[in-house]
Amino acid sequence: VAAESAVKGFLTDYYCTSESWSVRTSAQRVLEATNSWLHSQTRSQYAYDRDRGYVCTLSALVIKSTTGHIFHVGDSRIYRLRGNQLHQLTFDHSLQWELRASGQLPPGSDIAATVPKNVITRSLGPNANVQIDLEGPFPIELGDVYLLCSDGLTGRVEDHELGPIMGALPPEEAARVLVDLANLRGGPDNCT
């Protein structure tokens, strides 16, 4: 319910306001309103159960003319394949990623294996206010291929596998193959 509400809110409300405001302002206001609604629903329905509620991650890519803008909160990801180079354009808002980024979690160390990958530090809904990453504008080039995906996909399909599949298949087929591959490998989380 949370993810569906966030997507519908972003798509509907963004396009209703994007003509009068800048891309960044429109998206920021829509996502803040979405967060506020999810938070109020959680507080009213699950006030005594902190493990339940209306919570989701969101990664959105808005392409306007020849530029792109990214709006991101959580551990869903956005990738860009340009030529043969795959780049992750978002930063996971997870405990493991943030510890790595701050230098407190060296790759390959014994402690790295003990920090869970699924502890999210930011998402829509659990708190009254949320910090949303706003990136852009950045240039869109002819031939760029973008992948927006949940952690259910990236938890089972490695980055080095994404690029070749994205580059070899039409987008709809590549998406289907990536989801099927994640599910064949166990698919314990939702995969979109």
pLDDT in tens, 95-141: 988 888 888 888 777 777 788 878 999 999 999 999 999 999 999 99
> Which of 68, 75, 74, 62 is CA-nearest to residue 10?
62
- Whether the Cβ atoms of residue 94 and residue 117 lie closer than 8 Å to each other: yes
- Extract the tokens encoding 18: 């994007």
Q: What pLDDT was estimated at residue 91? A: 93
Q: What pLDDT was estimated at residue 36? A: 92
Q: Which of 3-7, 58-62, 149-153 has the lowest mean pLDDT?
A: 3-7
Place of tokens 């580059």: 167
Place of tokens 């590549």: 174
Q: What pLDDT was estimated at residue 18? A: 60
- pLDDT higher than 60, residue 39: yes
> Is this prediction's pTM over 0.85?
yes
> Which of 173, 144, 158 is CA-nearest to residue 84?
144
Q: Which residue has the higher pLDDT, 125 or 29?
A: 125
Distances (CA, A) of 135 to 32, 42, 65: 16, 28, 16
> Which of 79, 64, 75, 87 is CA-nearest to residue 138?
64
DSSP string, 129-180: S---EEEEEEE--TT-EEEEE-HHHHTTS-HHHHHHHHHHS-HHHHHHHHHH
Q: Which of 39-53, 66-80, 89-103 has the lowest mean pLDDT?
A: 39-53
Structure confidence at residue 47 as a pLDDT band (50, 70, 90): low
SS3 at position 63: strand
Cis preceding-peptide flag for 106 (omega within 30 of 0)? no
Q: What pLDDT was estimated at residue 50? A: 57
- Whether the Cβ atoms of residue 136 and residue 67 lie closer than 8 Å to each other: yes
